[in-house]
Amino acid sequence: MRSNWLYSQRIAPYVFVLPFVLSLAVFFLYPMVSTLLMSFQEVLPGQTHFVGWSNYKSMADDASFYAALWNSTRYTFWTLLVLIPVPLVLAVLLNSARMKWSSLFRSALFVPTLTSVVVAGIVFRLVFGSLDDSVMNQFRHLLGFQTINWMGHSATGMVVLVVLATWRFAGINIVYFLSALQTIPGELYESAEIDGANTWHKFKSITLPLLKPVAIYVITISIYGGYSMFTESFMLWNGNRSPNDIGLTMIGLLYRNGVEQNNLGLGSAIGVALLGTTMILNLIALQFFGLFKKEE
């Protein structure tokens, strides 16, 4: 009887799926439900009680919330604008048979992904320092420009954040696009060449459409990664207190309220708002790419 149960074709699929279901319930569903409930509570040492929408009202009345939301949105927008087309073009070049030393370039571009974000943040903070002897200010002096405080202004601070993100994540996006490019049959390009298609036409009519699933995935994780950015900002500004909150992110605001001020209810409300924002943006992106359209 037990042997029949173990080898049952009806039960076996559920047995294989069970570990994923359990991990999803323990590490995603339970924390999400707990956070949602906590966002309606005032959490004190040893006791909790419901306060209704009080935490959300406090969040809506806090100017820091809108500053953090704006900073995270700007960061996500610029990283999408850079970390989608640039890795795509580089992946196409590295996948070309005419490209020499492609393996070396692939390794070199992927190495920053393996670097600790803490180490990278410290190095970039030194490179873009406000002193005259910092690397970027020395470079500006060579071009005849004056010293600037890179981390003291919103625009230049965002430039540093985007440059750091590009340095760290361009390599992994290149790997995603390369893996998809290598699955495209070469016969398609050969047929297009016979029909007189040039390089641009092959890229537009063959490469881009077949890269669509991978591009959707990269965009989805980039939106999530953009809004969940915290460590980079924390290291560049040497803490969670940047001038006029120009480096404050949504996770930084959550950390400030939930951990530094021990206001777990307000921190949970910020987390719920962050989850809702990323879900809405991802659904809009998926709708834009036609993922929800019925195949005819």
* Any domain includes 190: yes
Contact (Cβ atoms closer than 8 angstroms) between residue 192 and residue 170: no
pLDDT at 65: 95
Angstrom distance (rounded) from CA 160 to CA 233: 10
pLDDT at 63: 93
CATH number reported for the structural domain that contains residue 204 in this entry: 1.10.3720.10
Contact (Cβ atoms closer than 8 angstroms) between residue 174 and residue 94: yes
pLDDT at 10: 77
Residue at token pair 């001038």: 243
Residues near 162 by beta carbon (within 8 Å), at least 6 away in sequence = 75, 78, 79, 82
pLDDT at 69: 95
* Any domain includes 48: no
- What are the angstrom distances between the C-alpha of 175 and each of 144, 168, 224? 39, 13, 19
Q: Which of 93, 97, 232, 71 is nearest to 167 (CA)?
A: 232
Angstrom distance (rounded) from CA 231 to CA 239: 9
Contact (Cβ atoms closer than 8 angstroms) between residue 158 and residue 165: no
The upper half-sphere exposure of residue 203, i.e. CA atoms within 13 Å in the direction of its Cβ, equals 11
Question: What is the greatest pairwise CA distance in the chain?
Answer: 85
pLDDT at 4: 63
* Any domain includes 171: yes
pLDDT at 156: 92
* Any domain includes 25: no
Instruction: Give the range of the structural domain holding residue 73, as residue numbers without chain letter.
Output: 63-288
Q: Number of folded domains in the chain? A: 1
Angstrom distance (rounded) from CA 35 to CA 243: 30
pLDDT at 81: 94
Which regions of the chain are under pLDDT 50? Answer: 1
* Any domain includes 183: yes
pLDDT at 223: 94
Contact (Cβ atoms closer than 8 angstroms) between residue 249 and residue 66: no
Structure tokens at 95: 């996948």
Contact (Cβ atoms closer than 8 angstroms) between residue 218 and residue 180: no
* Any domain includes 20: no
- What are the angstrom distances between the C-alpha of 289 and each of 53, 83, 293? 36, 18, 9
Contact (Cβ atoms closer than 8 angstroms) between residue 249 and residue 74: no
* Any domain includes 5: no
* Any domain includes 49: no
- What are the angstrom distances between the C-alpha of 11 and each of 3, 15, 16, 140? 12, 6, 9, 68
pLDDT at 201: 87
User: Which H/E stretch holds residue 41?
Assistant: strand 41-44
**Dihedral (CA of 124, 177, 278, 271) sign:** negative
